[in-house]
Amino acid sequence: MSTLHVFPSPAAGRRTLAGIEGVVPASWLGVRPQPETIPTGIPQVDKLTGGVPRGGLTEIFGPASSGRTSLLLALMAQATAQEEVCALVDASGAFDPHSAAAAGVDLQRVLWVRCEKVSRFKFHVSRTPRETSNVKREMFSRVEQALRAADLLLQAGGFGLVVMDLGDIPPAIARRVPLASWFRFRRAVENTATALVVVEQEVSAKSCASLVLKTQQSAVSNQQSAKTRIVPTHTRLLCGMQLEIEVLNSRISQRKPVRSATTSFESRASWFG
Amino acid sequence: MNATIYVPDFLVAAVVRLEPALREKAVAVLEGEPPVVTVAAMNEAAAEAGIEPGMTKLQAAAYPVELRQRSPAQEAAAHAVLLDCAQAFSPRVEDTAADTIVLDIAGLERLFGPPAKLAQDLARRASELGLEANVAVAANPDAAIHAARGFASVTIIPPGKQAERLGSLPVDVLQVAPEILQTLDRWGVRNLRALAALPEVAIVERLGQEGLRLQKLARGAVERPLVPAEPPLEFEETMELEHAVELLEPLAFVLGRLLEQLCARLGARALATNELRLMLDLDAAQIEDSPRDRVIGRSGHRVIDSAVNSMTRSPDAPMTRFIRLPLPMLDSRLFLKLLQLELRAHPPAAPVMKVTLSAEPVQPRPGQGGLFLPATPAPDRLELTLARLAGIVGKQKIGAAEVLDTHRPDAFQMKRFAPSAPQGLKPRRESGDREIGSSEHLKTDHLMTRSPDPAMYSTMALRRFRPPLAATVEVRDGEPVRIAAGEIRGEVASVSGPWRNSGEWWKSTETTPRIDTDDHGSNWARDEWDIAVPGTQGIALYRIYRDLASSAWFVEGTYD
């Protein structure tokens, strides 16, 4: 009768097996291949996250003026510099082409889908309460348009980066996107070279996201030319913001999700150089 | 050597080409205006059933045959198909008759093989294009024409054997005048062998030079040069519908059939298309009855389009839609889907009576992706995706943004999205290498564009409110100190500005809406401020401005 040997730990088991000539571990699950990523172009962020993973869903969330869009434009600039074709599904039409051009985004390679109120569009979210205001109803229809547009783009394939910008959609509405939609998106990009990025105010994709980044503003930097007590406002200049990025969840290469790793970087105004 | 393509019962074949279901049936083609509508042509099955030319429609309807109205447009399209088929093999093509095409195949052996194989290929290509044709190869054009008209399927006549092979054909294959045919019949000359055997002098004495010409034709001995035709490159298919089509689904079947033919014709000429034009002749009576309500819907339910922009003002004018493609394509299924999406977005205002589809022929653009280049969307799938997206958000809302060369705030225009194929990464240039005065410089220099090289900082972005939010701003000592604009409200923690921005003073102050952007085409003058407003989730930075013309305050966007 054979004896079952139990190693005290997996590491001890590997060490023991490595010592026996010709024996290899039965499983290599401990080693995961590093997925391809798109760098953001900001060394601090790339060092922390390794870039935005292709074939996965990345969430960038934070309140207004937290640097979500700055980070997104940096990512798009890198993607278009690598001659990737990008798509931006803009749920609220907030995208500013001037800012994107200033950030180095090649606008010719960015498909901009502006989800705005269309009279012909049929609104059919059944759970909408009757008393929902017109503004909320329009928001719902924009989110629904964005979901449908993103679905089409992911199914079409060939895009290096697909961005869903829900940054101005109230969290209460964004939370009502069913988890099945996020799951469907994750499956659509899985095993493809497409990176799906969602920009929002609060997390909503939950476990479907491969990487979750929280952005936060730590300081606003102003420059003033005169060091007097009463400074005229026209001598002050908004120079930028100091931003913090926190990795809330990363399932890229490690077996266990990484939590709470933080870095900071500066976001400068385009006129400041 | 010459080859001839001949389509028997051409009038019937022109109709059957667009209705393949009729191939196995007895079909008769009618011509004339009511009440005098008679049978103009019929196929073999209809002739066996008892149909004869000249029968009235009422008489023909008593037989188990399919009756169709003669269509000159379909006959012209079928003739164009024959020319396309011949042009696919030889550049020297003679347009002998509507149902007969002769092509010079001398020297084509190395390209297409021996004449027998070439003839088989010709017949197969014609069949693929929807026409069942006889093909004959002979040493001279006339012998090939008579062989194709007399023998079914493929016939090869070796050089010098014309008289022997043509001998069994009836005399009327020569298409002689009726009086000469009667004379020959009285002489007992029934076939070409008998005609060829007659003494030449005796024929000239009795029938003149025409008789001698006929005898030479019967012997297959007429040598004449081919008269090459250069048909214009027009690709158009038409189908007149017996009953007006009211729904999109049956119309899609018609469009699919026309597109298949169009693509097959383009493919026969090794061409593709970058523009499709769809013309729909609508039922004028229906338009007059209810110009806005009667529209085509999908699968039975009607789609109401309040702005039927595709409908022309005149009821008689056809509705025309264009599908423009970013690069040459040749995929009938893709074209059909694009047309369906276009018609769904712009449904006709009345039932459709006639469908005309034409394609702009262009040379296909061969392309091969590099192994180390990033993947890009397949052009056909991208076009389909764009059409579907246009169905969701509207055509004006998708595309690539182009920054305009002006200081006007938020000046951009939407362009058609057609990304160039990746060329591989170029070596980076230093910032000083950029030429002053180049278009790149002109467009983005004032924006201080930075290269996407890794840097220790990112560029602060603006998220715009479109349209800008009207705001109530409290000003103290010339500075904003408090703001209220929807959910944005509070004390202003810090402020920088004002930055005066104005332009296009020569334009009127009256605002005229622009289609391509959300801005207006008038002059502008405003004072911009960058403010920081503390909130529950930290400090938010906004760009606000005061319109100097109206003294109204707006929030333009938030820095993010």
Q: Which pLDDT band holds residue B360 (cuts at 50, 70, 90)?
A: very high
Per-residue confidence (pLDDT) for residue B62, from 0 to 100: 92
Query: Which residue pairs, CB below 8 angstroms and at least 24 apart, start in B451-455?
Result: B451/A104, B452/A41, B452/A74, B452/A77, B452/A78, B452/A80, B452/A81, B452/A103, B452/A104, B453/A41, B453/B428, B454/A39, B454/A41, B454/A42, B454/A43, B454/A46, B455/A41, B455/A42
Spatial contact of B119 and B133, defined as CB atoms under 8 Å apart: no
Name chain A contacts of B373, Cβ cutoff 8 Å: 83
Per-residue confidence (pLDDT) for residue B234, from 0 to 100: 87
Kindly give, in sequence order, each residue whose CB lies less than 8 Å from that of residue B527, ignoring residues fewer than 6 positions away: B497, B498, B499, B500, B501, B545, B546, B548
Helix (H) / strand (E) element for B213: namely helix B200-219
CA distance A161 to chain B (A): 11
Give the C-alpha separation, B348 to B338, whole Å: 16
More confident residue, B2 or B291: B2
Backbone φ/ψ region at A45: left (φ over 0), alpha (ψ -120 to 50), beta: alpha
Tokens of A217: 């503003």
Backbone angles phi, psi at B180, to 5 degrees: -70, -35
Mutate to test the interface with B, among A44, A98, A142 (most CBs of B within 10 A): A98
Q: Where are the beta strands (DSSP E) in B13-63?
A: 27-31, 38-42
β-pairing verdict for B154-156 and B235-245? unpaired
B-contacting residues of A 173-202, CB under 8 Å? Answer: 193
Provide the residue type at B167 as one letter: G
Q: Where are the beta strands (DSSP E) in chain A?
A: 37-38, 52-53, 57-61, 86-90, 110-114, 161-165, 195-200, 211-224, 236-250, 261-268
Lowest-confidence pick of A129-133, B397-401, B462-466, B481-485: A129-133
Per-residue confidence (pLDDT) for residue A200, from 0 to 100: 92
Quick check: A240 and B373 CB within 8 A? Answer: no
* B48-100 tens-digit pLDDT: 999 999 999 999 999 999 999 898 888 998 999 899 899 889 989 999 999 99
Burial (CB count <10 Å: 0-12, 13-18, 19+), residue B247: middle
What is the pLDDT tens value at each position of chain A, 273 positions in all?
Answer: 444 556 677 677 666 666 666 666 666 655 566 778 899 988 888 888 888 999 999 999 999 899 999 999 999 999 999 889 999 999 988 999 999 999 999 999 999 999 876 443 333 333 344 444 666 677 778 899 999 999 999 999 889 999 999 998 888 888 888 999 999 999 999 888 999 999 999 998 888 898 999 998 888 877 665 554 555 666 678 888 888 898 888 877 555 556 677 888 888 888 776
Provide the residue type at B32 as one letter: G
Q: Does A220 contact B at CB distance below 8 Å?
A: yes
Per-residue confidence (pLDDT) for residue B20, from 0 to 100: 84
Kindly give, in sequence order, each residue whose CB lies less than 8 Å from that of residue A152, ignoring residues fewer than 6 positions away: B385, B388, B389, B392
Give the C-alpha separation, A260 to A216, whole Å: 13
Measured CA to CA in angstroms, residue B77 lies from A188, B101, B129, B266 at distances of 44, 14, 11, 13
For all residues of chain B together, what is the average pLDDT? 83
* Closest C-alpha to B336, from B355, B363, B310, B362: B355
More confident residue, A250 or B358: B358
Tokens of A248: 């809330």
Per-residue confidence (pLDDT) for residue A80, from 0 to 100: 93
Q: Which pLDDT band holds residue B473 (cuts at 50, 70, 90)?
A: very high
Q: Does A128 contact B at CB distance below 8 Å?
A: no
CA A99 to chain centre: 18
Please name the member of B374, B459, B535 whose beta carbon is closest to the beta carbon of A70.
B459
* Mean pLDDT of the region B243-261: 90
Name chain A contacts of B422, Cβ cutoff 8 Å: 83
Kindly give, in sequence order, each residue whose CB lies less than 8 Å from that of residue B283, ignoring residues fewer than 6 positions away: B244, B350, B351, B352, B353
Per-residue confidence (pLDDT) for residue A140, from 0 to 100: 73
Please name the member of A44, A71, A115 whose beta carbon is closest to the beta carbon of B393.
A115
Q: DSSP class of residue A122?
A: P
Please name the member of A42, A63, A152 whose beta carbon is closest to the beta carbon of B388.
A152
CA distance A19 to chain B (A): 41
Please name the member of B385, B403, B558 whose beta carbon is closest to the beta carbon of A65.
B558
* B477-522 tens-digit pLDDT: 888 999 998 888 889 988 887 888 888 888 776 544 444 444 456 7
End-to-end CA distance of chain A: 77
* B302-349 tens-digit pLDDT: 333 333 344 444 556 788 999 988 888 899 999 999 999 989 888 888
Position of tokens 């997104």?
A72
Cβ–Cβ contacts within 10 Å for residue B312, how many?
14
Total-model pTM: 0.73
CA-based nearest residue in chain A for residue B409: A98
Per-residue confidence (pLDDT) for residue B7, from 0 to 100: 93
Q: Which pLDDT band holds residue B436 (cuts at 50, 70, 90)?
A: very low
Give the C-alpha separation, B272 to A165, whole Å: 38
Per-residue confidence (pLDDT) for residue B290, from 0 to 100: 46
Helix B248-268 with B10-18: angle, nearest 10 deg: 120
**Interface pTM (ipTM) of the complex?**
0.82
Q: Does A172 contact B at CB distance below 8 Å?
A: no
Tokens of B150: 């007399």
Residue B532 pLDDT exceeds 80: yes
CA distance A164 to chain B (A): 14
Spatial contact of A160 and A38, defined as CB atoms under 8 Å apart: yes
CA-based nearest residue in chain B for residue A144: B392
Q: How many CA atoms lie within 13 A of A94 on its CB side?
A: 28
Spatial contact of A257 and A61, defined as CB atoms under 8 Å apart: no
More confident residue, B286 or A231: B286
Quick check: A67 and B560 CB within 8 A? Answer: yes
Please name the member of A81, A85, A271 whose beta carbon is closest to the beta carbon of B448.
A271
B-contacting residues of A 88-117, CB under 8 Å? Answer: 93-104, 107-116
